[in-house]
A and B are shown apart, each in its own frame.
Chain A
Amino acid sequence: MSTRPPAAVRNRYKDDSRSEQEPLDVSVVPAEVLPGAARVDVNRAPGTSGTQDGARAVAVLGPRARLWPALAAVYRAQLSRARVARIPLLFVATFQSVGIMVLMRGVVDGGGEARAVVAGSSVLVVAFVALNLLAQYFGQLRASGGLDHYATLPVPPAAVVLGAAAAYASFTVPGTLVTAVAGSVLFQLPLTHLWILVAVIPLAGAALAGLGAALGLLAPRPELATLLGQLGMSAALLLGVLPPDRLPTVVQWARDLLPSTYGVEALGLTFEPDPNWGVVLLDLAVCAGVGVASLAVATWAYRRAAVR
């Protein structure tokens, strides 16, 4: 009698709150009937090799999802999100790049500069989607507790990160193709070697998506993840699209540090009549190396974000 119910508690019986009253007749088994529910035959429990003493019985662990099937499942699920959420953003990425090329048309006068602009604009689509959008996605997922879903499933961290990164890299394919073709037509560049995009998109995609995932998962707040993603994309825009010869030395160094630069260089070289394939391969190898490293960091960041 010492305590009294406070205001919020006591109206329950009078309020016509049907949602509260409803479950009264829901359960098939009333709780009182089953005080010995623990006596249910333990041997029937799935995956357990039990004795009567449940606490001492060591259960067989459920199956673990293997890397590749899990990666495929995450990839497919992420890809399906494009239908719901991503398509408008793909248009934005493509329009942005095509618009930049149209603007630059009055500034550059063919030759090496035109190649740099077209290559930079094409890879910019990859930077927009794989770096910026993926950083935002993981930032929001982490902040909202959405990572708990994956963290309570027996799935390798690499499968979640790689699956999402691969899906975001795939989102860039149509936009990058459209931009590269439109740019080549606009600046009268040969379309002969555009097949190199088959290598550029996945490798630049891996490098930038890994970076985006790592930024999104490491940022302490989702706003910060968004900001870092935007900054990364702005860097790719400025350092990738502007012809390097016109940039000050310090900025050129920064350009060398950005992984997207090597994708831009590789693509730009193939617009030449007789490309130096050795350098193209070297550039792509740098992309691949950065991709492996950044995806490894992203996987580590995921593990760290999932268990707090």
Chain B
Amino acid sequence: MCVVRDLTKTYPAVRGRRGAPGTPEVRATDGVRIDIRRGEIFGLLGPNGAGKTTLVRQLTGLMRPDRGSVEILGHDIVRHPERASRLLAYLGQESTALDELTVSLAAETTGRLRGLDVRSARGERDAVLEELGLTALASRPLRKLSGGQRRLACFATALVGARPFLVLDEPTTGMDPVARRAVWGAVDRRRAEHAVTVLLVTHNVIEAETVLDRVAVLDRGRVIACDTPSGLKAQVAGEVRVELVWRERAPLDVPEVAALRDRAVESGRRWSLRLSPEEARAAVAAVTGGAAFAALDDFTLATPSLEDVYLALGGSAGSARGLVKA
């Protein structure tokens, strides 16, 4: 339903000016190949600057790729970028076009600009605001709302004037649990009733594991893996993550602890280790018994997450810092 082949976009190098260093040429998407099936929630996961937003802008007709093809529901979006707006609804990260409108008018106007007549735009507006629990806020301007509420209002505008394909760029940023629940409830309903397809750009690995059917992991403009979240996790199933928190400092006089230190990533009094199950068992036994236990504040054993997958796949460790947004 959405087929992407060899999509490449290069931002030209910027020459440095006085006081500002230049930036080299950046290949924001590099031969990206993706197949999204109808009715699935497909995720794009990757750290900041991995090329997620650039890829989405090319899919929504906002940016022309240097080469490659994008086909959405049988339409060639590279050749006819204007068709994208008649096939998909896009929720971008910016709301400046809507900020000074009331929630109600933002939804109604967007519906009318999606080709609805006044009556159906108002009908859909009321239904969507009700569905997302925004009715009480309908007469407030967007910019007077909190970040999460504003995001939810923007999500509402994306739903007015139904489209078979939703492209959502970090839709739940800043939202409280109730709003998140409203978003995923609305998505699931549209998927069940109309087989709506969703492309979700996200930073949040836990959200990704929960809602996505399949996920493509992007790193430096390339798709480094694409599978179901459990399929990806199976690739690193042999490993366990052990987290140790010491009360003050690690008891390095204990030989077992000193041996673990080489494999740990330290952050203050916190250690993080990726070990095989046997090693993990031994490590836990070592720190929970004997002398080390007195110095131990807390410990956790966890099965691998998409984050570990990302790291195991060779995602650049430095840029993985941006993978989880606090």
Say whether B96 contacts A55, CB under 8 Å.
Answer: no
Say whether B300 contacts A13, CB under 8 Å.
Answer: yes
6 A-B pairs closest in CB distance: A38-B37, A63-B115, A58-B74, A146-B96, A59-B73, A10-B272
Chain B 219-244, CB-CB to A under 8 Å as 1, else 0, gives: 00000000011100000000101010
Q: Across the interface, which residues of A come within 8 angstroms of B85, CB to CB?
A: 151-155
Say whether A32 contacts B96, CB under 8 Å.
Answer: no
Say whether B1 contacts A77, CB under 8 Å.
Answer: no
- Shortest beta-carbon distance from B307 to chain A in Å: 6
Say whether B113 contacts A5, CB under 8 Å.
Answer: no
Q: Across the interface, which residues of A come within 8 angstroms of B110, CB to CB?
A: 149, 153
Q: Which of B88, B113, B188 contacts A150 (CB 8 A)?
A: B113
Which B105-137 residues sit within 8 Å CB-CB of chain A? 105-106, 108-110, 112-118
- Shortest beta-carbon distance from B148 to chain A in Å: 10
Most buried by A among B73, B105, B211: B73
Q: Which of A13, A21, A149 contacts B243 (CB 8 A)?
A: A13
Q: Does B317 contact A (CB under 8 A)?
A: yes
Q: Does B274 contact A (CB under 8 A)?
A: yes
Bound CA–CA A12/B272 (angstroms): 11
Q: Across the interface, which residues of A come within 8 angstroms of B305, CB to CB?
A: 12
Q: Does B170 contact A (CB under 8 A)?
A: no
Q: Does B277 contact A (CB under 8 A)?
A: no
Interface size class of A (residues with CB under 8 A): 35 or more
Known: A31-B211, A31-B229. A1 touches B113 (CB 8 A): no
Say whether A80 contacts B298, CB under 8 Å.
Answer: no
Say whether A11 contacts B38, CB under 8 Å.
Answer: no
Q: Which of B35, B38, B101 contacts A80 (CB 8 A)?
A: B101
21 A-B pairs in the complex with CB atoms less than 8 angstroms apart? A4-B265, A5-B308, A9-B311, A9-B320, A10-B265, A13-B300, A14-B243, A14-B298, A27-B188, A40-B191, A46-B163, A46-B194, A48-B73, A62-B86, A73-B112, A84-B141, A85-B100, A148-B62, A151-B61, A153-B110, A155-B113
Bound CA–CA A40/B1 (angstroms): 12
- Shortest beta-carbon distance from B203 to chain A in Å: 10
Q: Across the interface, which residues of B come within 8 angstroms of A23, CB to CB?
A: 172, 177, 180, 184, 204, 206-207, 210-211
Q: Does B253 contact A (CB under 8 A)?
A: no
Bound CA–CA A28/B187 (angstroms): 10
Q: Does B41 contact A (CB under 8 A)?
A: yes
Which A6-40 residues sit within 8 Å CB-CB of chain B? 6-15, 17-24, 26-32, 34-35, 37-40
- Nearest B-chain residue to A3, judged by Cβ: B311
Give the A-binding residues of B (Cβ under 8 A). Answer: 1, 3, 35, 37-41, 57, 60-64, 71-75, 81-90, 92-98, 100-102, 105-106, 108-110, 112-118, 141, 143, 161-164, 172, 176-177, 180-181, 184-185, 188, 191-196, 204, 206-207, 209-213, 228-230, 239, 241, 243, 245, 263, 265-267, 270, 272, 274, 298, 300, 302, 305, 307-308, 311-312, 314, 317-318, 320-324, 326
Q: Across the interface, which residues of B come within 8 angstroms of A18, CB to CB?
A: 177
Bound CA–CA A29/B61 (angstroms): 30
**Given A10-B270, A12-B307, 6 more pairs with CB closer than 8 A:** A6-B265, A6-B317, A26-B184, A59-B72, A77-B109, A153-B110
Chain A 39-63, CB-CB to B under 8 Å as 1, else 0, gives: 1111011111010001111110111
Say whether B180 contacts A55, CB under 8 Å.
Answer: no
Say whether B323 contacts A54, CB under 8 Å.
Answer: no
Say whether B324 contacts A8, CB under 8 Å.
Answer: yes
Bound CA–CA A77/B106 (angstroms): 8
Q: Across the interface, which residues of B come within 8 angstroms of A48, CB to CB?
A: 73, 164
- Shortest beta-carbon distance from A73 to chain B in Å: 4
Q: Across the interface, which residues of A come within 8 angstroms of B210, CB to CB?
A: 23-24, 26-27, 30-31
